[in-house]
Structure 1
Amino acid sequence: MDSVEVRLMRADDLPSAERTSDAVFLDSDRRDRRVSEPEPEPRSREAAKRWIDRMRYFLEADPHGCWVAVDDEQIVGFAISQNRDCLWYLATYGVLPGQQGRGIGKRLIDAVLTHADNRRGMFSSTVHPAATRRYRLAGFSLHPQMRMIGTVDRSTLPPVTGLSDGSADDFDWMDQLDQRLRGAGHGPDHQYLLNDHRLIVSRTNGNHGYVYLDPRGRPTLLAATDHRTAQILLWEALASSQSDTLVNCITTANEWAVDVGLAARLHIGQEGYLAARNMPTPAPYLASGQFL
């Protein structure tokens, strides 16, 4: 009989779950590494702490969406998901390489999809064959994603006007915009992101939009009412970037972002899938990897 127990995550699971997550994604990064890319390395102590802090937030915000697989007291798999109104999203998921093929991943996905309770859903997926097969069988459409990386050619930066720093006072209309684009607001996720990200907003002439910038100036989550506003926000993000930058989670419905990146002399590449169920691909919108 299989000794693996799939159960709800507890707060004291977080350090062990982080180590499992690091091993899962380090193996994936090494397997998928492009020849021109540096050898992947384990998470730094600071990155591990950020992972634990973020998963603790998810555990507090929606504990019934957070699951682990345990074998002889070792966490061998995890699936962290969240419900926000009528939208469900999968923040992160994985099974240790040596434990794959035992049905653990299916049990974890079944658990979080039960929590989803037929909500529309989305998440960012790797290209791992077994995982993508499982997602498709669960009813998700797999939309290829692109990413753009490199150092911005600052001579290409256009003048940008009509933007300002955002605050919690903007969350109401931001959630309304989220509702329009993906069917549900981000709710408490906005405050969590604002705690350590810069928020830039557009509120001019009825053309609304926002973008969060991480501490390195990279865009983390972007949404707008129209393509022009989205491009202005992305240009501001590129102007704020420090050294190399990354624009991620670009679907074909968001080619406006490709146009900006190419104009800024960034390099384009393929990066997994945006998995979506019972919903169109949001646009103009650049999803966050873990907050979607």
Structure 2
Amino acid sequence: MTEADVPTAERISDDAFFALDTANQLPSAPAPRRRSPEHRAAWTARTRGFLGSDPGGSWVAERDGEVVGFATGFRREEVWCLATFAVRPGLQGAGIGAQVLDAAAAYGDHLPRGMLAASVDPRALRRYHQAGFRLHPQLTLRGAVDRSALPAASDVRDGGPGDLAWMDELDRALRGGPHGPDHERLLAAGRLVVTVDRSGYAYTNGAVLALLAARDEDVARTLLGACLADAGERYEVPHVTSANYWAVEVALAARMDVVAQGFLGLRGMAPPAPYVHHGALL
């Protein structure tokens, strides 16, 4: 992938995921929507960032000189992550996805661990399984928040650049690699909340939990409670695996809804916990 390919990749991604979400919409879920201009800009900036930090990790597939599929991946010490993978609607099932995914995955073949966030697309799930990834079902927690049931959050504060070093150490312990340059992208998308004793952190924008990492479940509950206390009318916590049932307990106590949605694909590792991963930055 080159910088010139990024706008086309973004359109393919938006088309593919909108079609998938429309075909698999749950009765309780909001109606699928196209990306907003702000979301498109953030997606484009993030992908260009991958080209800078991991120039060998992102690939496109062409047909008749036109980009028809792509995969973006990156390495963070001992873990390889697949950020995004999509094929133009109408061309799935023709072998394009398998080729471009293989090219991106080769960038992390030598690493002991791998992570990816998967949709419910059965074709993609088969490819991930064939690539050696074990698929762990995920829950999404969403709805209006009953703040009367939230745990106390007196030991948290706003974080900043001075916290990134210990946050990266926590990430190494939980998933095998730091977020490093990805913290800049996470900070741009919302607020960083950290515990006073440097035992956990979370990124939130008041509507969605982007990422949460903690030393233990008590710390994780405190951080999630702080995010929910600062929530708007509704809040969403995506990407919750069964290893992180503490998040389900907090959400149910706050009278939020629980729905099954997507998978976490892992190679060479168990589901990180206490940890709620980001959809693209893992």
Range of TM-score over shorter length = over 0.9
Question: Which piece of structure 1 moves more, 234-243 or 33-42?
Answer: 33-42
Structure 2 equivalent of residue 95 of structure 1: 87
Alignment partners' CA distance in 2, 1:36 and 1:173 = 39
Are 2:199 and 1:208 equivalent residues in the alignment? yes
Deviation per CA, 1:75-123: give whole Å up to 9, x if none: 2111011011111001110112211121111101110111112321001
Letter paired with 2:149: T
Structure 2 equivalent of residue 30 of structure 1: 22
Structure-2 change in CA distance of 1:72 and 1:86 (3 Å): same
Normalized against structure 1, the TM-score is what? 0.92
Structure 2 equivalent of residue 290 of structure 1: 280
Structure 1 equivalent of residue 70 of structure 2: 78
Q: CA deviation at 1:148?
A: 0.5
Structure 2 equivalent of residue 4 of structure 1: none
Are 2:236 and 1:246 equivalent residues in the alignment? yes
Structure 2 equivalent of residue 230 of structure 1: 220
Question: Which piece of structure 1 moves more, 243-252 or 42-51?
Answer: 42-51
Q: 1:189 aligns with which of 167, 182, 189?
A: 182
Deviation per CA, 1:23-81: give whole Å up to 9, x if none: 10011101110134343232222222221112111121212111111222332111011
Structure-2 change in CA distance of 1:36 and 1:229 (3 Å): closer
Secondary structure class of the residue paired with 1:282 = coil
Structure-2 change in CA distance of 1:246 and 1:200 (3 Å): same
The 8 Å contact of residues 217 and 237 in structure 1, kept in 2 or not, is answered as no
Question: Which piece of structure 1 moves more, 113-122 or 245-254?
Answer: 113-122
Q: CA deviation at 1:266?
A: 0.4
Alignment partners' CA distance in 2, 1:133 and 1:117 = 18
Alignment partners' CA distance in 2, 1:283 and 1:93 = 25
Alignment partners' CA distance in 2, 1:195 and 1:174 = 17
Are 2:248 and 1:255 equivalent residues in the alignment? no
Q: CA deviation at 1:186?
A: 1.0
Question: Which piece of structure 1 moves more, 128-137 or 36-45?
Answer: 36-45
Alignment partners' CA distance in 2, 1:289 and 1:242 = 21
The 8 Å contact of residues 152 and 225 in structure 2, kept in 1 or not, is answered as no
Structure 1 equivalent of residue 137 of structure 2: 144
Q: CA deviation at 1:217?
A: 4.3
Structure-2 change in CA distance of 1:64 and 1:184 (3 Å): same
Structure 2 equivalent of residue 177 of structure 1: 170
Identity value in percent: 45
Alignment partners' CA distance in 1, 2:28 and 2:208 = 22
Letter paired with 1:209: G
Deviation per CA, 1:183-232: give whole Å up to 9, x if none: 1111111122123321111143xx60000112x34221100000000000
Alignment partners' CA distance in 2, 1:171 and 1:36 = 37
Structure 2 equivalent of residue 3 of structure 1: none
The 8 Å contact of residues 218 and 238 in structure 1, kept in 2 or not, is answered as no
Q: CA RMSD in A?
A: 1.4
The 8 Å contact of residues 151 and 221 in structure 2, kept in 1 or not, is answered as no
Q: 1:273 aligns with which of 258, 263, 271?
A: 263
Normalized against structure 2, the TM-score is what? 0.96
Deviation per CA, 1:138-172: give whole Å up to 9, x if none: 11110110010101012223432111111111111
Alignment partners' CA distance in 2, 1:76 and 1:87 = 28
Alignment partners' CA distance in 2, 1:50 and 1:138 = 29
Alignment partners' CA distance in 2, 1:54 and 1:233 = 25
